[in-house]
Each structure stands twice: as C-alpha cells, then as structure tokens.
Amino acid sequence: MKRIVVTGAGGFIAGHLARRLKDMGHYVRAVDKKPLTEWYQVHGDIDNLVLDLNVKENCYTAVNGFNEVFNLAADMGGMGFIENNKAECMLSVLINTHMLMASRDLGVERFFYASSACVYNGEKQTGPDNPGLKEEDAYPALAEDGYGWEKLFSERMCRHFMEDYGITTRVARFHNVYGPFGTYDGGREKAPAAMCRKIIEGELYGKDEIVIWGDGEQTRSFMYIDDCVDGILKIMYSNIEEPINLGSDEMVSINQLVDIVEDIAGYKLTRKYDPDAPKGVRGRNSDNTLIEKYLGWAPGYPLVDGMKKTYDWIKAEMVNNKK
Ligand code: NAD
C-alpha cells in the first residue's frame, strides 16, 4: 500500500483515477481548489483536501508524507476556453513548478504529469487526414498558444527535475478524453460532451437546430476515460522516460461525431455551421507506435460504446437537474 496524492481530483480524469487507486488498496489523498460541493466525484473513503496549488506552501502541505504524486490539476477546458483564456491557462505553470519542488524536497519517489496533444507543432496539423502525431512532432516547437506552451514547458521541467534532482518523472500527452463525470456545460466542456448536451437539449426542450463550430470537417480522436486511467497507471509504473502519447487513434470528423450521438439518441437536428467559432487545429490524431512498442498496449475502447455511456450519464444529469 502506497501513500499517493492525486491533484485535480475534483475534476474529470483525476476523479476517476483517485477512485481506481483507492480500489487498488492505496491510501489516497485527493486535492483540488474547488469547494467539495463542486467536485464531480467525492469519495468518502479518500482523504479529500481543498487547496489552491498555485500557492507554493499548499503544495508542500499536499505532498508531505506521501510517496507518489499524480499531478493532473490545471486550469483548462475545451477549445472555447483555451482560445479565450491563454494567460489563465499559462498560470497552471505555478501548479507544476510548486508540485515538483515540493515533491523533490519531501522525498516523493514517482511523479506523473498530465500533458496534452496541444504541445504538438500546429504546422503538423493543417489537414483533416492527419496520419497521427508522433512524439517527435512536438519539436521544433509551435504549440497551441497559451495552454500548449505551458504544457510543453512543464514537460521539460519534469525532464530536468529527473536529470538534475533524481526524482522519477513520467509524462503522458493525453489526446481528447471523454466519459461520465466530466464537464458538459458552462464553457469548459469539450466536443464529445458538448455534442451530447446539445442533442439532449433538442430532445428535452424540442429544439431543432444544432450549432457546430467551423465546418465540422476538422478531425480528432477521442479516448474513453477507462483507457485513460489504464494508460496513466501503465505509464507511471513503466520505464518510459520521455513524454508519450496517450490517446485513441480512431480519428473522426466533428460531423461524424454528431452522427454517432444522433444515432445513439435516435434524434436528428438541423446543422448550422458557425465559421467564426473557435475551431482549433484542422486535424489531430494520435500515433500509437511508441506506446505499443513500450507497453504492448494502446487505448482501444470503441468510440461508439464510450459515447453511449457518456450520453446516458449526461442525459440522466440533465433530466435530474430539470426536475
Ligand atoms: P478538469 O478541468 O475536469 O480537472 C482539472 C481540475 O484541476 C479541476 O477540478 C480544477 O478545479 C483543478 N485545478 C485547477 N487549478 C487548480 C489549482 N490551482 N489548485 C488545485 N486544483 C486546481 O480537467 P480534466 O479533463 O480532468 O484534465 C485533467 C488533466 O489532464 C489536466 O492537466 C489537463 O490539462 C489534462 N488534459 C486533459 C485532456 C482532456 O481531454 N480532458 C486532454 C489533454 C490533457
């Protein structure tokens, strides 16, 4: 049994991760800056702490007496959020800086950092038929402005803390993650949850139109949350010292994603395209050659199955909130 800190645990991915680590028999401390009432999942058998990890002293409080850290706390959201809040996204560098310093000074043995496909060079993502981004495509650097540059810088901090101070760090570049217990409204939601919400709104409130950002032909891959948690654990306890992709390689266009959700819902809406909305890069996919080589594994949960689970959860939430 290890003593493990999970940051950002009031959010989507780390909420699932904290549960899994607890079920594996570890003593888990979950940390987030949001009040407990706003956490997506609050586990009663976990040590839950509300702390702002931008503040250095709070990182020392969070880590003291623990062996391992999974650092997932970040100010982030979907394209709509990161394109309009670049400075706020970059301030997450304080979390990673202070968490690394606290981990180094308090003898943490292993440190996981959640990076992102937004570190990749934009010039490699100009066409919708992207064959998949390889890890080397992060350099020469031309990351997503704001959020992506912060992730790239924090990745390098992990590398140099390992080289200079001997703390074992592991870095995964997540490609879009989706599933239950995540954001589906309020402006920080990502495409899978946003599409589910918009189509459920159609069903519940009799709307007949859906607004799609751009022309809907931009492509992405989407990783189901169970694959993400499996991958985080495999990478954390591996010998992989370089940042590595953790993403699905089942690439679809946003229009195809809407088709999938409409099929699940059995409800179709008229599509209206907004060319001025935030669209992000034109095409993005994960190349999984390296993860398959190192782990003999890659995310493989089918998009249709994951979207059905996500849709059912969001619909139940929206119906309950409507009552
Ligand atoms: P999320 O927004 O649901 O969770 C992040 C949590 O971090 C939030 O609950 C937030 O309150 C917390 N947080 C922010 N600033 C904090 C601070 N100063 N102190 C303490 N807590 C703070 O996001 P998520 O989707 O669960 O993402 C988790 C991690 O994975 C993030 O680092 C994100 O950048 C990365 N990531 C996610 C995706 C994705 O598709 N969801 C893709 C790439 C990378």
What's the pLDDT band for 70 if we cut at 50, 70, 90?
very high
Topology of 184-220+251-281+302-316 in CATH?
A: UDP-galactose 4-epimerase; domain 1 (3.90.25)
pLDDT tens, residue by residue, 192-246: 999 999 999 999 999 999 999 999 999 999 999 999 999 999 999 999 999 999 9
- Which residues touch 107 (CB under 8 Å, ≥6 apart)? none
- Quote the pLDDT of residue 79: 86
Mutate to test the pocket of ligand 1, among 48, 72, 235 (most ligand atoms within 8 A of CB): 72
Closest ligand 1 atom number to CA of residue 174: 43
Cα–Cα distances in Å, from 202 out to 183, 197, 199, 249, 253?
A: 19, 9, 5, 30, 21
Residue 323 has pLDDT above 70, yes or no: no
- Quote the pLDDT of residue 321: 86
| Structural tokens at position 249 | 């390689």
| Structural tokens at position 153 | 């810088």
| Structural tokens at position 253 | 């266009």
Q: What pTM was estimated for this model as a whole?
A: 0.97
Residue 78 has pLDDT above 90, yes or no: no
DSSP string, 69-95: EEE------SHHHHTT-HHHHHTTHHH
Query: Measuring CA to CA, which residue among 121, 67, 100, 113 is closest to residue 235?
Result: 113
Report yes or no: 195 and 222 within 8 Å, Cβ to Cβ.
no
| Domain limits, the chain | 3-177+223-246, 184-220+251-281+302-316
- Quote the pLDDT of residue 279: 85
Q: Tokens 């870095």: give the residue.
A: 171
> Which residues' Cβ are closer than 6 Å to ligand 1?
8, 10-14, 32-34, 52-54, 72-76, 95, 114, 116, 174, 176-177, 183, 190
Nearest CA to ligand 1 atom 8: 11
Percent of the chain surpassing pLDDT 70: 100
pLDDT tens, residue by residue, 90-117: 999 999 999 999 999 999 999 999 999 9
Range of weakest confidence among 9-13, 19-23, 77-81, 175-179? 77-81
| Structural tokens at position 267 | 């409800």
Mutate to test the pocket of ligand 1, among 16, 32, 248 (most ligand atoms within 8 A of CB): 32
pLDDT tens, residue by residue, 121-155: 999 999 999 999 999 999 999 999 999 999 999 99
Phi and psi angles of residue 63, each rounded to the nearest 5 degrees, phi first:
-95, -25
Tell me how far the alpha carbon of residue 166 is from its chain's centroid: 27
Cα–Cα distances in Å, from 58 out to 52, 167, 207?
A: 7, 20, 46
Secondary-structure class of domain 3-177+223-246 per CATH: alpha beta
Query: Measuring CA to CA, which residue among 121, 222, 134, 123 is closest to residue 179?
Result: 222
Q: What is the torsion angle, in degrees rounded to the nearest 10, for the CA atoms of residue 37, residue 38, residue 42 and residue 48?
A: -80
Q: Write down the mean pLDDT value for the chain.
A: 96
Residue 18 has pLDDT above 90, yes or no: yes
- The answer to whether residue 147 is catalytic is yes
